[in-house]
Structure 1
Amino acid sequence: MYGHSGGLVVQDRSIKIVVLFLIPLLLYLVPLPFTPLMEPDEGRYSAIPSAMNATGDYVTPRLKAAVYFEKPPLVYWATAVAFRIFGENAFSSRLFAALSAWGCILLVYRMGLFFHDARTGLYAAAVLTTFLYHVAIGRINILDMPLAFFVCMAIWSGFHCFAGAKQKKGWLYLLYLFSALAFLAKGLIGIAFPFGVVVIWLLISGRWREIFALFSPIGILIFSAVSLPWLILVQQQNPDFFRFFFIQEHLLRYATRMHDRYQPFYFYLPIILAGTLPWCAFLPEAIRGVGKGEKWFGSAEKRLLLTWFGLIFLFFSISSSKLIPYIAPVFIPVALSFGHLFRRYQERPGEGGAGELPPLRYRLTGILQSLLFMAVPVAPLFLREHRVSWDSWWPWVAFPFLIQILILFLPDRMRRRRGPAWFATIYLLFALFVVTLTPSVAQYLAPYKSAYPLSQAIRKQVPAGATLYQYGMSLYGVDFYTGKRTPIVDDIGEVRYGSQQLPVAERERYFLTSDAFFRLIRETDGLYCATENDEKLERLKKEVPALRVLWHNEAYALVELKKS
């Protein structure tokens, strides 16, 4: 990422290809098929579009054949299309989320180009590509990365509308279009965030009179044409939809603790700090090198980025329901800020350029970070639960460990020879670290976080026409991988509402209590059941002395239940 005069050669097309295409391809698309789907989210968000393709009903989402109104259908539709094209597998399941993450990288490049130049855009894109949060959330099938992409595109379109763009109406219409897509991805926040950020930015910029220009009859028509057809159709098919979707899953989820996801106000601070690794660890050095008294950001840029970050951060911090993926849209403005700082640091004579190393106190966080990342791959050797043996584990973690050793020494060595190579070396080495760490993460998590190993055993051990019950658990991936509709015993959870809409006979067959299940065992010889390999298996052994374990690992067991 460097060229003549020690600077980034933005005219060199190969640099853009590497930063905007090759590295994102390597990090976000290539690894998708190598990790089995994780529970519960990826199993859920794969089972729903699979059911859509199987039934031909793309209006009412269904999970385990029960209506599932928690989220709108856009991501389900996109995944269903991917299933049609590439088959039902981990790659196609995650493809839309990965493309959305890639889209965010291209967006932050365009933002850097708009506010500064292409060089800043490439720095910002490189930073976002390798943010620990972005690379983690961007490769799993959940709704938050597609939501983040559409929300950020809507915010950027709204800003462009008032930033002197020639096609002002066109950008305004894009604001409405992307807001509609964000709404169909995850609900009302897809509207609230884009319009909220633009309105607050106009207010703090002293342009409050222009707020009224956001109102657009054509924009409303665009929004309605995209979002209303599904709302009308799903309400016609399900009369209770509006109440459940807007009141329970929006208002009550945000304002109450009904889903047991309460976290303290500061919950997202460590998430953002960890999510911006590795680059936040190098910030002390970069900020020191930028220079005192310099104006870091233009007024319009600073107000937009602070509003963008601040509104979303405060909204979720106040909420009574918090999960790590919710905060995804804030990392785009953070990446632009970081990219601009690192670009200026690298090109400041005597600082980021070739020369002596900065004092150790400014490099200490970077050193500690590498030591932390060196500890992560070897941590499973010392855990109480899910501990692994050295003989089986070291081939999986040797390369990530060695790469972190290189990050300790190689960037500074490259800095002495050619200053801007410091940033490029960190960027490329951390990307390589993520690539080499992915197989070990898959190897470690799959046995107890994925239904794939259990599903493979089911295919081998359970006859094709036999019913398989899940006792005390609900792994959606079992249904997805095996093609079976598995009845659930005692762990109805989030499908409780949908199960209550089913006919009584179907509900009693597929959503059982323990008492009903044990009565069924006494009446039927040779039932098959999957359960967790803990006290639930022990209870089954007590209730069914003739139980036979067909397969088990540390997390799950597959058993045959015979009458005594």
Structure 2
Amino acid sequence: MSIHNRTGARTASFSVILALWALVAVVGVLARPLLPVDETRYLSVAWDMWLHHNWLVPHLNGEPYAHKPPMLFWLINATWAIFGVNDFTARLIAPLFAGLNLVMLVLLARRIWPGKPEIAQLAPLFLIGGTYYAGYGTLTYFDMLQCFFALLGWYGVFVANEGDRQNARKGWIITGIAIGLGVLSKGPVILLYVLPAAVFAPVWRRDWSSFMGGARRPANSGTAKAGLVQNDGLGRWYAGMGLAVVLGAVIALCWAIPAAIFGGEDYRNAIFWGQTAGRMVDSFAHVEPFYYYLVALPAMLLPWLLWGGLWRSLFGFGWRRDMDAGIRFCLLGAVFLLVAFSLISGKRVHYILPVLPLLSLIFARIIADLPTRRMDQIPVAVFVIILGVAGLVAPFLPSFFAKIPAWVGLLDGWWGAFLLLAGGALLVIETRRTVAVGVLAGVNLLLVSMVFMIAAPRLHTDYNMRPMAQYLKTQQDAGRNVAYWGKYHAQFQFLGRLEQPIPMLLSMEEVQQWLDAHPHGEIIARRDNPITGPDQPLARFDYKNDHLVIWDAKAVKADPEGVLAR
């Protein structure tokens, strides 16, 4: 079967992909609860901001929260000002920025390769068609905002490098705004994303010899034309870059200075130095080996690494002949970010999220509009078919294998049948590579939606904090004091709309002091072993593979070691 270019272009059009992404986003938000501890924590910070009308200094459980800047919390409160306090619109902010990243990627591709419009068509398909990006894009985290401002900063750098001095000023203003808003989104790490694009301009420009004062080479017709960098020299270029950094600093300091004044000394030290230095020099959390990202990146690039068309293009591309400024820029940016973040002690996969747009641009650049082979789809098709077979047999597995979790038997087999049909279609489709990218991206987005729906029952069983949060709300409204045994991440503050903090009790001495002050209070504790004593908890809620239980103060005072034991 063959799909012609015109039909395929309509099928894989940007508007269709955006519509599919909207479907994935809504399904991802509706199918699962807010996940502890990160999503529940961030919504709780926003709830505290809304509750106390403190827009300057974020708070968590009654204490200043210096781990993240306020941009996401401001945006959540903006949705609540329009739609009222709810979790649905708040959780759509990250998916919205994931979609805006696609738009920004189109604009950046057009700026880098104005003579190659097909790159702007393909790059967002590679990005949103990646399983990691599509799945992660529905989580209420800061990284989609940070990725957007990184793309905006790169766009500003390319604007600054083209045309006259007026365009240069425009480009540096864009870059400065991106830096400032990026700092407000996730902190000074935005500089690590944006500045290398400007600092290493002599390296990634095609005619970099003229940049250093040598003879100028003709610009590639398919690449952004030579501009201010070549015509006005290094001094003016780096002066513009410096002014962009100053503009970004001014934007960020408009919040940071008053927040530091009203937040107190500890908060001031944290936002100006502690958090950034701690993560970069000797991370207080998430320490991983230096090769962590080299192992994680291949998984982040699925399903594209299974597609034969990409590999044939990678090996068939004229790297020496066709290496232009755009490819050099993307390669340099991706390698720099991977090396830089590998040297930082604290590591998480989403820290290198902005690498994915750069790799998407590279993939789009090297994919030629040439006929592909059915064999190119075979690895992806086989992978999808295997998943389909697993979906069909999953409901029957617990009956034959005792060690299979019971929840596997609750899965519906219809999604397996759909995957079998999709895998079979991929085996018989023969089309151009550009259309194949759109087809694979669309199939993968539907697959991600199905994974959300498949995982929903288990997630609601193990991670739904709402029932317990609502119970705590009734207790606080009744005037009862509640404390938490162990580290509390404010999982219940937003979900229960709690108006009072929940104290953390980190030692038996603190437990005794709290019990003396609140003899009729209640203590939350996590329990993963059976309760064998005569005293039973007031309430019990599922959490992961064990429970969260609520004890009456009298029961805890009678046997604190036994009652609070894990």
Q: Residue 244 of structure 1: CA displacement? A: 2.2
Whether the aligned pair in 1 keeps the contact of 2:260 and 2:267 (CA below 8 Å) is yes
1:301-321 Cα shifts (integer Å, max 9, x gaps): 111101221121111111111
Select which of 279, 282, 290 maps to 1:256. 282
Aligned partner of 2:424 in structure 1 is 409
Amino acid in structure 2 at the alignment position of 1:139: T
Q: Residue 254 of structure 1: CA displacement? A: 1.0
Select which of 321, 333, 347 maps to 1:308. 333
The answer to whether structure 1 residue 371 and structure 2 residue 386 are counterparts is yes
The answer to whether structure 1 residue 444 and structure 2 residue 458 are counterparts is yes
Amino acid in structure 2 at the alignment position of 1:551: R
The answer to whether structure 1 residue 428 and structure 2 residue 454 are counterparts is no
Amino acid in structure 2 at the alignment position of 1:151: A
**Superposition pairs of residues 510-521 of structure 1, within 5 angstroms:** 513-518=507-512, 520-521=514-515
Q: Residue 163 of structure 1: CA displacement? A: 4.0
Note closer, same or farther for the CA distance 1:268–1:171 as it changes in structure 2 (3 Å cut). same
Aligned partner of 2:541 in structure 1 is 552
1:141-161 Cα shifts (integer Å, max 9, x gaps): 111221111112102211231
SS at match of 2:492: helix
Output the CA distance in 2 between the equivalents of 1:363 and 1:13.
Answer: 21
Whether the aligned pair in 2 keeps the contact of 1:273 and 1:280 (CA below 8 Å) is yes
Aligned partner of 1:210 in structure 2 is 234
Whether the aligned pair in 2 keeps the contact of 1:271 and 1:324 (CA below 8 Å) is yes
Q: Residue 5 of structure 1: CA displacement? A: 5.2
SS at match of 1:43: helix
Select which of 295, 298, 316 maps to 1:292. 316
Output the CA distance in 1 between the equivalents of 2:421 and 2:280.
Answer: 45
Q: Residue 460 of structure 1: CA displacement? A: 6.7
Whether the aligned pair in 2 keeps the contact of 1:79 and 1:95 (CA below 8 Å) is no
Whether the aligned pair in 2 keeps the contact of 1:268 and 1:324 (CA below 8 Å) is yes
Q: Residue 550 of structure 1: CA displacement? A: 2.2
Aligned partner of 2:145 in structure 1 is 146
* TM-score with structure 1 setting the length: 0.81
Select which of 328, 337, 340 maps to 2:353. 328
Aligned partner of 2:61 in structure 1 is 64
**Superposition pairs of residues 494-533 of structure 1, within 5 angstroms:** 513-518=507-512, 520-521=514-515, 526-533=520-527
Output the CA distance in 2 between the equivalents of 1:376 and 1:300.
Answer: 46
92-101 or 207-216, which moves further after superposition? 207-216
Amino acid in structure 2 at the alignment position of 1:534: D
Select which of 375, 384, 387 maps to 1:358. 375
Q: Residue 108 of structure 1: CA displacement? A: 1.9
1:483-503 Cα shifts (integer Å, max 9, x gaps): 223424345xxxxxxxxxxxx
Note closer, same or farther for the CA distance 1:448–1:560 as it changes in structure 2 (3 Å cut). same
Note closer, same or farther for the CA distance 1:128–1:534 as it changes in structure 2 (3 Å cut). same
**Superposition pairs of residues 337-352 of structure 1, within 5 angstroms:** 337-342=362-367, 344=368, 347-349=369-371, 351-352=372-373
Root-mean-square deviation (CA, aligned residues, Å) is 3.4
Percent identity, aligned pairs only, is 18
314-323 or 78-87, which moves further after superposition? 78-87
Select which of 525, 528, 531 maps to 1:534. 528
1:362-393 Cα shifts (integer Å, max 9, x gaps): 844662465368659988978999933344x2
Output the CA distance in 1 between the equivalents of 2:349 and 2:29.
Answer: 21
50-59 or 79-88, which moves further after superposition? 79-88
**Superposition pairs of residues 196-235 of structure 1, within 5 angstroms:** 196-205=196-205, 206=208, 207=211, 209-210=233-234, 212-216=236-240, 219=244, 222-235=247-260
SS at match of 1:26: helix
Output the CA distance in 1 between the equivalents of 2:381 and 2:483.
Answer: 50
Whether the aligned pair in 1 keeps the contact of 2:481 and 2:518 (CA below 8 Å) is no
150-159 or 200-209, which moves further after superposition? 200-209
Q: Residue 221 of structure 1: CA displacement? A: 6.1
Output the CA distance in 1 between the equivalents of 2:86 and 2:392.
Answer: 27
Whether the aligned pair in 2 keeps the contact of 1:462 and 1:528 (CA below 8 Å) is no
1:331-378 Cα shifts (integer Å, max 9, x gaps): 101112223444x2xx314x34xxxx338xx84466246536865998
Amino acid in structure 2 at the alignment position of 1:546: D
Amino acid in structure 2 at the alignment position of 1:255: V
Structure 2 unaligned blocks of 5 or more: 213-232, 559-566
Select which of 64, 85, 88 maps to 2:85. 88
Output the CA distance in 2 between the equivalents of 1:13 and 1:188.
Answer: 40
SS at match of 2:430: helix
Output the CA distance in 2 between the equivalents of 1:173 and 1:319.
Answer: 30
1:435-467 Cα shifts (integer Å, max 9, x gaps): 222122232223333422422454578764322
**Superposition pairs of residues 442-481 of structure 1, within 5 angstroms:** 442-458=456-472, 464-481=478-495
Whether the aligned pair in 2 keeps the contact of 1:180 and 1:223 (CA below 8 Å) is yes
Amino acid in structure 1 at the alignment position of 2:99: W
Q: Residue 194 of structure 1: CA displacement? A: 0.8
The answer to whether structure 1 residue 97 and structure 2 residue 74 are counterparts is no
Q: Residue 229 of structure 1: CA displacement? A: 1.4
SS at match of 1:478: coil
**Superposition pairs of residues 172-211 of structure 1, within 5 angstroms:** 172-205=172-205, 206=208, 207=211, 209-210=233-234
Whether the aligned pair in 2 keeps the contact of 1:94 and 1:139 (CA below 8 Å) is yes
1:5-28 Cα shifts (integer Å, max 9, x gaps): 56754xx69933212x31221123
Whether the aligned pair in 2 keeps the contact of 1:161 and 1:169 (CA below 8 Å) is yes
Aligned partner of 1:394 in structure 2 is 411
Whether the aligned pair in 1 keeps the contact of 2:106 and 2:124 (CA below 8 Å) is yes
Note closer, same or farther for the CA distance 1:69–1:559 as it changes in structure 2 (3 Å cut). closer
333-342 or 74-83, which moves further after superposition? 333-342
* TM-score with structure 2 setting the length: 0.81
Output the CA distance in 1 between the equivalents of 2:324 and 2:278.
Answer: 38
Aligned partner of 2:562 in structure 1 is none
Output the CA distance in 2 between the equivalents of 1:255 and 1:218.
Answer: 27
Amino acid in structure 1 at the alignment position of 2:14: K
Note closer, same or farther for the CA distance 1:379–1:171 as it changes in structure 2 (3 Å cut). farther
1:20-68 Cα shifts (integer Å, max 9, x gaps): x312211234532432111111111111111111111111111111011
Amino acid in structure 2 at the alignment position of 1:213: W
